[in-house]
Structure formats: C-alpha cells, structure tokens
C-alpha cells in the first residue's frame, strides 16, 4: 500500500475546522510535520531504519568522525551498529561509554594504529574510534533517521499504517497553535501510539533471546598490553 501524500493528510486534519483560513492552513501544515517528528521522538519505526553501505569509510590515522560531514548519513538520529569491512577480518564495532574510554584510554594515540574494535560518542554527531584506523576501511552503518520535512502536496509520509495516529496528533497540535494552549507533543504521540507499540511487543522476532543464546557483545581478544579494551590474551 502506498504511503499517504502530504496533501491528503492535510485534508483529513482540516476536517473539523469549519472556518479554515490562511492561518489555519499554516497551522495544519506545520502540525503534520510536527506530528511526524513527535512520532519519531517516541520510537524508531522500521520505515526510518536504514543501512548505509556506500558513503562511510575510515581514514588512515583519523580518530574522530562526524556522521554527516565524514559519513554523509541522511538525517541521522541514532546509530544502531557500525561494521568495519575488511573481507574475512570484517567485524561489528563495540560501543563503549565515554566515561570508560576516559578512564581506560585517556590518550588514544599511546597505542598503535590498527583495526578499529570500539567506538564511543564524542558529542554533536561525532564518534571516536579505538584503535585509530591504520588504513581506509569501508563502514556499513545501520542507523535511524528523522523524518523528512514534507512540503509538496505529493510528498508522502514515511510511516506505513500510521495515518490515523498522525492525523489525530496533528489535529491536536494544530489546535494548540491556533488556541495557544500548548502541551507535550511527544507525550501525546506516545498516547496515540500506545496500541501499536504493544502490538510490536507481540511480534516473536522482537522478543529478547533467552539462554543458551545470548545477545550480548563478545569480548575482544588479543594482546591487552596494546589495547586496554582487550580482556584477555588469545
């Protein structure tokens, strides 16, 4: 089923506004986009989770990367995984909290360059790689996006089967703009989405694994004196 166009969403939101004037139309247009953004604040839907395999790569000797200027990601919201691709040595990088990096490796340059094994956020869409790459490697990045701003009548919503939630949330937001009686848009989006989120929880593939299977990261092995994030020798 094709996703609904911006023009159609606006028509549905305008139902119930008997004396729609120019100000109302402006409020509705803004409200539809605000509704889409508020839905993205609540959770990441599959329609806005993508994998980039063409734009991102490391640079020999470069420690810090920005997800837009270096990797050219489109409207990035959250990184789900980064894979460093080097044929049989390809690996999923392990996320490490900044506090752990600051404690174990305050000066990343003290260890030799090599295959990156870990990464950590460094603010404003920046990420630091550990170890610092010793070559140019392709990166496969799975990430969530913010929804695109709709402007043309034929632009379509990014979400499938969320028209009702989008329209009712947009009605509330448009009324808030007109009346000046504002509320927490994301909280209201959570209310409208509560049924759909519960439905997702009933999907078997989304349930957490129980032992003997595990979803935790495996520990890196090697020479711990060369990399503080290595727990034990091979």
Whether pTM exceeds 0.85: no
Strands (E), the chain: 49-52, 64-66, 76-85, 91-92, 94-95, 118-121, 126-130, 138-145
Over residues 151-175, the mean pLDDT reads: 96
Residue pair 29/118 in contact (Cβ under 8 Å)? The answer is no
53 conformational bin, left if phi > 0, alpha if psi -120 to 50, beta if neither = alpha
Where do the structural domains in the chain lie, given as residue ranges? 6-45+159-202, 48-144
What spatial distance separates the first Cα and last Cα of the chain, rounded to whole Å? 52
| C-alpha span between 34 and 27 (Å, rounded) | 10
Over residues 73-87, the mean pLDDT reads: 96
Q: How far is CA 105 from CA 35, 98, 102, 124, in A?
A: 42, 10, 6, 21
pLDDT score, position 215: 36
Beta bridge partners of 118: 94, 130
Backbone angles phi, psi at 179, to 5 degrees: -90, -20
Share of the chain above pLDDT 70, in %: 82
Of the candidates 2, 16, 1, the residue with the CA atom closest to the CA atom of residue 167: 16
Query: For residue 234, is pLDDT > 50?
Result: no
Q: Label residue 21 by pLDDT band (50, 70, 90).
A: confident
| C-alpha span between 124 and 118 (Å, rounded) | 19
Share of the chain above pLDDT 90, in %: 72
Query: For residue 165, is pLDDT > 50?
Result: yes
Query: For residue 185, is pLDDT > 80?
Result: yes
| C-alpha span between 23 and 82 (Å, rounded) | 45
pLDDT digits 0-9 by tens, 92-135:
999 999 999 999 888 888 889 999 999 999 998 999 999 999 99
Query: For residue 75, is pLDDT > 50?
Result: yes
Over residues 186-190, the mean pLDDT reads: 95
Q: Label residue 18 by pLDDT band (50, 70, 90).
A: confident
Over residues 180-201, the mean pLDDT reads: 81
pLDDT score, position 105: 86
Query: For residue 46, is pLDDT > 70?
Result: yes
Query: For residue 142, is pLDDT > 70?
Result: yes
């Amino acid at each position: 089923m094709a996703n609904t166009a911006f023009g159609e969403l606006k028509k549905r939101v305008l139902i119930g506004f008997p004396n729609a004037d120019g100000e109302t139309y402006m409020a509705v247009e803004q409200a539809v986009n605000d509704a889409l953004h508020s839905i993205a604040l609540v959770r990441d839907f599959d329609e806005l989770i993508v994998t980039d395999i063409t734009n991102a790569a490391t640079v020999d000797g470069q420690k810090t990367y920005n997800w837009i200027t270096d990797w050219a990601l489109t409207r990035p919201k959250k990184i789900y995984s980064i894979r460093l691709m080097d044929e049989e040595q390809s690996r999923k990088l392990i996320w490490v909290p900044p506090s752990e990096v600051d404690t174990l490796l305050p000066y990343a340059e003290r260890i030799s360059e090599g295959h990156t094994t870990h990464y950590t956020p460094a603010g404003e869409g920046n990420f630091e790689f550990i170890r610092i790459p010793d070559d140019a490697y392709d990166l496969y990045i799975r990430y969530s996006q913010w929804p695109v701003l709709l402007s043309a009548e034929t632009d379509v919503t990014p979400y499938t089967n969320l028209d009702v939630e989008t329209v009712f949330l947009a009605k509330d937001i448009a009324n808030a703009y007109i009346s000046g009686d504002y509320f927490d848009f994301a909280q209201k989006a959570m209310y409208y989405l509560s049924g759909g989120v519960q439905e997702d929880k009933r999907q078997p593939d989304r349930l957490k694994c129980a032992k003997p299977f595990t979803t935790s990261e495996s520990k890196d092995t090697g020479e711990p004196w060369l990399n503080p994030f290595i727990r034990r020798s091979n």
